[in-house]
Chains A and B, each alone.
Chain A
Amino acid sequence: MELWFFERHTPNVKFSIRVERQLESVRSEFQRIDVFESPEFGRFLTLDGYMMLTEKDEFIYHEMIVHVPMAVHPCAERVLVIGAGDGGTLRELCRYACVAHIDLVEIDRMVVEVCRRHLPSVACAFDDPRVNLHYEDGVKFVRSRVDEYDVIIVDSTDPFGPGEGLFAKEFYGNCCKALRSGGILVNQHESPFYADDAAAVQRAHKRIVESFDISKLYQAHIPTYSSGHWLFGFASNSLHPVRDLRAEEWNALGIKTRYYNTRLHAGAFALPNYVEELLKDAERKR
């Protein structure tokens, strides 16, 4: 017997993984949550049928969303993480001694529970004493925060479903207000390859550009995400992601990584021409 999970990356493209067994299938107030075990990618988590992470390639995503801002900010003490109920972003953040306080805001408590149960290598930092869990809508949480965080990481799902508000202009504006001076916002920024995804990239970019003086995108290769070519956003009112990179200081920390390094950091901001064009086009639409 063969069991296959598939996800449509477009109406005409399917991405498929062979499944050994299903470990969990629950419906929360917000979404359907599934965990599967597969021969190739290990365990993987899907929300409403959309791939969130696999044990095999999650390190790429989580290292890139955390170490890039942390290698630019000189001393991030207070960090806000929105979404990220799987705990992978927390795991990477907790490796920094400078971080004194992390607020994690996840709308769906059940995602955290399921990940703690089935994905222990990812959901391993929830008990760190610096971590404060808030089960509420990130849009609401950030609304009342002023001048509080050095780094905000938006580790959201896709721009439809429960994560939709995390791609809205008012949310980015509220994040800008919640950052201390010299703060950095990093967000999951979708893929530039297929037309619908590219439109989401443009929409989000346009809205971030309207809220921050510096707004750059960087890329990583994530095999299980749509097209495999994935983008992240870096926004700040004073720090440039490459010119202000503190490579020596970061390397001196001795944090062992499998994907990220400071040479790749600079290179990740060098985008293909078609992506640059896409972003310029979004900026022109302002």
Chain B
Amino acid sequence: MNRDAQSRAPIMEALLQFKRARVVPFDVPGHKRGRGNPELCELLGEQCMAIDVNAMKPLDNLCHPVSVILEAERLAADAFGAGHAFFMVGGTTSAVQAMILSACKTGDKIIMPRNVHRSVINALVLCGAVPVYVNPRIHQKLGISLGMAMADVEAAILQNPDAKAVLLNNPTYYGVCSNLAAVTDLAHRHGMLVLVDEAHGTHLYFGRGLPVSAMAAGADLAAVSMHKSGGSLTQSSFLLAKDSVNVHRIRQIINLTQTTSGSYLLLASLDVSRKSLALNGADIFEHVVQMAQYAREEINRIGDYYAFAGELTDGDAFFDFDATKLSVHTLDMGLAGIEVYDLLRDEYDIQIEFGDLANILAYLSAGDRLRDLERLVSALAEIRRRYKKDKAGMLTQEYVPPVVVTAPQAAFYAEKQPVPLSESVGRVCGEFVMSYPPGIPILAPGERVTPEIIEHIEYAKERGCLLTGAEDPDIETIQVLK
């Protein structure tokens, strides 16, 4: 990485230059630097409105970058060790979909773990590819999905030599990493592409002593949520590509669904954040790891909570741990993660990232302060003092391994009918059911409904999980294939 070049931010510089030029706007957007919408201008600030501008020659064009955006993309590629970096304004969802659409077409097989984000299965609905699921290993005590075991990946590759790609989610929301380098090597030896949903892994490219990143491991494509640990604005993201893939083809695929009015606020935020990470990322994430480590020690001192870390790695499905993640197992206190999540917000004015059946996740970043961590730890201590219960009868598992009957696209477009949840056993599901966050489907289109899955959904509802995806918001009924 060329550090001198990284101190530049071409999109930001062009925007500031453009602002100084005081160009008279007879183009869109119609708010004309905020003057046409005073209330919004008051809310967001004049500085923000003044750079909410349209694509034009001095500012380049996201659909076909030739100047400042291209330059910014090249700087990002250098910072991430990629062949090319695409600026994405439709969230990491759009980056994940572009990855899959680039690798697969109708009927192609793609090997992936089942605990993927909904955006992955949505991409399969779009392109008609057929998933070959590798069930992720489950950590028995914590109830969380781990990565894929090497033996399982190898079996899937050998049984499906015609598969086009292997997709991994790495690290998981909880910070669990698979053996990315070994999986990549194996897939490449069988002529398959390696795609990595790296939504929770931006910092791996810059921190010291963190798990290996997708590009460093030799993966072909990676979707990186800059707006998560990278500090850019919500909805901005990078799609990273190695030189092994055709960049022009990927640009075409992105342009199939991407807006032609890419927001310069998002683009500038990517540009500025990339600069900051390239120059200061190592220190930033070292500080985050220290804070997370401190919080883990304090939380484990309270009793009944288990803030886990690298001690659980097993050399296989839990190959490595991302130490910036603060995940806490809550079941020994007789409370589901989602219950602790609700108590933190409702009783203590503390909003964490999510809670599932057995764990909570607090997201730490460069913006955190030690004194806020002290509050979090104190609130957890109070919750234990006031709400601790008998832990009998608690479900632990994040999700139940499903049985795939029909490919997602076929199931999505099939004729469907609603049936009461309790009567849906044995039917093929035609929609998604998931807790959000983390957004990992309990049921996806094309999967058979089993008694265990119904039990899981009922339990999640009872504990207060926000279930989304289904047509019936209360999930009393479920859409199944006719």
Contact = CB atoms under 8 A, between A and B. Distances in A.
29 contacts: A107-B371, A137-B374, A139-B371, A139-B374, A139-B378, A140-B298, A140-B377, A142-B378, A143-B377, A143-B381, A164-B371, A165-B371, A165-B374, A165-B375, A168-B348, A168-B349, A169-B347, A169-B348, A169-B382, A170-B348, A170-B378, A170-B379, A170-B381, A170-B382, A171-B375, A171-B378, A173-B382, A174-B382, A177-B385
Interface string A150-185: 000000000000101100111101100100000000
B57 interface: no
A137 B377 CA distance: 12
Interface string B279-315: 0000000000000000000100100000000000000
B249 interface: no
Nearest to A173: B382
A140 B374 contact: yes
B370 interface: yes
Given A168-B375, A174-B378, 16 more contacts: A139-B375, A140-B298, A142-B378, A143-B374, A162-B371, A164-B371, A165-B374, A165-B375, A169-B347, A169-B379, A170-B379, A170-B381, A170-B382, A171-B375, A173-B382, A174-B382
B386 interface: yes
- Top 3 nearest A-B pairs (CB, nearest first) are A170-B379, A170-B378, A173-B382
B367 to A, nearest CB: 15
Interface of B (DSSP majority class):
helix
A125 B193 CA distance: 72
Interface in B361-409: 370-372, 374-375, 377-379, 381-382, 385-386
Contacts of B377: 140, 143
Residue among B298, B347, B371 facing the most chain A CB atoms (10 A cut-off): B371
Given A162-B371, A168-B349, A169-B348, A143 B378 contact: yes
Chain A residues touching B, range = 10 to 19
A170 B386 contact: no
B392 to A, nearest CB: 26
Contacts of A174: 378, 381-382
Contact of B371 (A137, A142, A169, A173): A137
B197 to A, nearest CB: 36
Nearest to B383: A170
Contacts of A165: 371-372, 374-375, 378
A137 B373 CA distance: 11
Nearest to B379: A170
B386 to A, nearest CB: 7
Contacts of B347: 169
A140 B375 CA distance: 8
Contacts of B371: 107, 137, 139, 162, 164-165
Interface in B162-221: none
A135 B377 CA distance: 19
Interface in A106-160: 107, 137, 139-140, 142-144
A138 B385 CA distance: 19
A144 B382 CA distance: 11
